[in-house]
Chain A
Amino acid sequence: MKLEKFLAQLTEAPGVSGYEGQMGDLVGQAFSPYVDEVRKDNLQNLIALKKGSGKNCPSIMLAAHMDEIGLMVLKIEEKGFLRVTSVGGVDERTLLSQEVTVHGKKPIIGIIGAKPPHLQQPDERTKSIKMHDLYVDCGFSEEKIKELVRVGDLITINREFTQLHKSKAAAKAMDDRAGVALILETLKELQYLKHSIDVYGVATVQEEVGTRGAFTSTYGIMPDIGIAIDVGHGHMPGILNKEDTMEMGEGSGIGLGPHVHPKIRKKLTELADELKIAYQIEPSPSPRGTDAYAMQITRSGVPTALISIPLRYMHTSVETLDLEDIKSAARLLANFIARIDHEFVEGLKCF
């Protein structure tokens, strides 16, 4: 499937943390022509295996999370308004006046309403609205909505995948379906390359609530190398320190920080230079934000690296990126995989 089409399909479908079942099915269908096995584990991580040509060969795990942030029904108020809480780090300022789908007994359209400016107190006008003051209005009476919706039902924002100028695109849940798409592109590239190592493409669950799926999937696979693929902050107006962000369209970021094994990073950057693949160095000092954190400290430890796709407006419904950054990083990863041998893997065992 073409990158644009796959990404449109993934980002428009719901898959809030803890409820990635349908998303896993979509990913499994897309991966299956390029891999030898597809399975789901206990927590619904989608695990695809493309076998290497070697015997007793090492393995690499590519992990990108397929869950998205979202909302959950907290309480059904009188007159049928739904109070909500967030699943993952939703920016509450961006929720006002969004159209949403409430995933009840059947999908129901709703909107997020709030008090109009005319009726606000002076101090309310200068403050952003808080999650506990927002509500979803589906138009149903209290009695009717209680037949269709229960506490704990999920809510996602309705947003079509939109292509902007040239290769740029905006959608909800690019974080981290773009990473899942990068794995698919890598698997496609690997069709034309010979690789001796086993390649696990894993679409992980529950990253947005604490890299939970990466912990359990890594435990099950126990790879020799782990590469987390996630989105990183792209540059946009209002960012004071340009160094904190990456430029969209200038290649994906190769992470640099305590959760990145220096020998893997070195090989990735050297290979990118050799193949003239654009990349950026992304300083990544905080260790807990991506699946790399979980992969690195599972069992006796996994040598881990991080690839970051530059993306603007993270955790909004208009997450924007450049598709070329996905394609170039896939080429880099595929070639990296093709060049890994026993010797390189042995070298990683001694930091």
Chain B
Amino acid sequence: MKDLIKRITEVFGPSGQESKVVELIKAELEGHVDEMYVDIMGNLIAHKKGPGKKIMFSAHMDEIGFMVTHIEKEGYLRFTNIGGHRPWTLKGLRVIFDNGVIGNIDCHSDTKPNELNYDKLFIDIGAKDKAEAESMVKIGDSCGFYNSTLANGQRMIGNSMDDRIGCVILIEAAQQVKSSPNDIYYVFSVQEEVGLRGAKTSAYRIHPDMGVALDVTPTGDTPEGAKLNVKLGDGTAIKVKDASVIAHPLVKNFMIDVAEKNNIKYQLEVLTAGGTDAGAIHLTKEGIPSGTISIPCRYVHSPSEMVDLNDVKACVELVKGMVAIDIAQILD
């Protein structure tokens, strides 16, 4: 699993540019599902056929990143955000473009930290002037964080854990689930970071009876951390609420029951902000009972997102436990 996490988190894929992630996941799932297709938005949908009701799992493939808005005559790139960043944390970070061009983000050395915004930051790709820069990247090109993903015992650190770690959980589950009473759709969605866009269209097409998002959630266990219940290493987190969804009581209780019956370590999560694909899925058509399995993650939306492998394994077990039960019994 460590190898898969390293490979998938190091692949390029800011929102709207997820095709390299699609290729990696398709290769992993080959032979484990009945059909796979990519829809109009670029969502990868892997279908494991079953006789019962439809359950849709969704983990997003896209990562936060940046987009070039302007090229200065000296060859520096001005940029805007794709998804949520804290601009004052970006100075000194490295980024990579789809074609492999690497740059680093910086600003004038006199800029005070509280003034650091996109209008003060630039990307230096080493071009000697505008013409050379334009031969390397174009306005509208996207880039993402450029880092190596590392393992420190059971803890892994890297960018794009949000939400490739959710993709890893679905891949592992799909590889292990040989049959189910349910009709399972594993959706690897696009453009979550810019507004749950891929989940919205994929849920409309699939029209599942139950929706489950898998995504990271911040923890409250760091020094002077927020008053949040979730701790890294304390197991899978079953979401009660965030800003995008209040988990359907039936789905939340289903997850708790499965975790307790299978001795899966879990914690309950209430998040005061944030959102996941479940926010889009549950409002599809006449409404779909939905919930979220959260992966505890420190430093979400930084280049060093940290997850615990035991938590990840607990999430895989929870997915497997859920699909083993006929969801018709839960929904009636």
Contacts and interface: CB of A to CB of B under 8 A. Distances in A.
A150 B249 contact: no
B116 interface: no
Nearest to B286: A220
Contacts of B283: 212, 215-216
Contacts of A85: 270, 272
B282 A43 contact: yes
B94 interface: no
- Report the contact-size class of chain B (Cβ under 8 Å from the partner): 20 to 34
B287 interface: yes
Interface in B209-239: 220, 227-229
B285 A216 contact: yes
A132 B246 CA distance: 20
B206 to A, nearest CB: 15
Interface stretch (A72-80, A268-276, A322-330): A72-80
Contact of A73 (B270, B286, B288): B270
Grouping DSSP codes into helix (H, G, I), strand (E, B) and loop, the A interface class, with mixed when no group exceeds half, is: mixed
B241 interface: yes
Given A74-B228, A83-B227, A85-B270, A152 B287 contact: no
A219 interface: yes
A42 B268 contact: no
A3 interface: no
A18 B246 contact: yes
A12 B15 CA distance: 46
Contacts of A142: none
A21 interface: yes
A150 B286 CA distance: 30
A17 B246 contact: yes
A117 to B, nearest CB: 24
A37 interface: no
Contacts of B13: none
Contact of B269 (A17, A87, A151): A151
Given A42-B288, A151-B240, A206-B246, A72 B270 contact: yes
A108 to B, nearest CB: 17
Nearest to B220: A75
* Interface SS majority for chain B: loop
Interface in A97-119: none
Nearest to B272: A85
A76 B268 CA distance: 11
Nearest to B273: A85
Nearest to A45: B287
Nearest to A42: B287
Given A72-B270, A85-B272, A151-B269, A18 B249 contact: yes
Interface string A131-151: 010000000000000000011
Interface string B286-299: 11110000000000
A209 B288 CA distance: 17
Nearest to A212: B283
A219 B220 contact: no
Contacts of A313: none
| Chain A residues touching B, range | 20 to 34
Given A72-B270, A74-B228, A83-B227, A18 B241 contact: yes
Nearest to A153: B240
A128 to B, nearest CB: 19
A151 B287 contact: no
A206 B268 CA distance: 21
A74 B286 contact: no
A25 interface: no
B249 A21 contact: yes
Contacts of A21: 249
B248 interface: yes
Contacts of B269: 151-152
Interface in B67-88: none
Interface in A3-56: 17-19, 21, 41-43, 45
Given A75-B220, A151-B269, A220-B286, A43 B229 contact: no
Interface in B230-272: 240-241, 246-249, 252, 267-270, 272
Contacts of A212: 282-283
Nearest to B226: A132
Contact of A75 (B229, B241, B287): B229
A221 B228 CA distance: 39
A73 B282 CA distance: 23
B240 A72 contact: yes
Contacts of A152: 240-241, 252, 268-270
Nearest to B331: A42
B288 A87 contact: no
A17 B241 CA distance: 10
Nearest to B268: A151
A80 to B, nearest CB: 15
A41 B287 contact: yes
Contacts of B286: 41-42, 216-217, 219-220
Query: Which 8 A-B residue pairs are closest in the complex by CB-CB distance?
Result: A18-B246, A152-B240, A216-B287, A43-B287, A220-B286, A42-B287, A151-B268, A151-B229
18 contacts: A18-B241, A18-B246, A19-B249, A41-B286, A43-B248, A72-B270, A73-B270, A74-B228, A75-B229, A87-B241, A87-B246, A151-B229, A151-B240, A151-B269, A152-B269, A215-B287, A217-B287, A219-B287
Interface of B: 220, 227-229, 240-241, 246-249, 252, 267-270, 272, 282-283, 285-289
Interface of A: 17-19, 21, 41-43, 45, 72-76, 83, 85, 87, 132, 150-152, 206, 209, 212-213, 215-217, 219-220
Given A18-B248, A76-B229, A216-B287, 15 more contacts: A19-B249, A41-B286, A42-B287, A43-B248, A43-B287, A74-B229, A75-B220, A87-B241, A87-B246, A151-B240, A152-B252, A212-B282, A215-B283, A217-B286, A220-B287
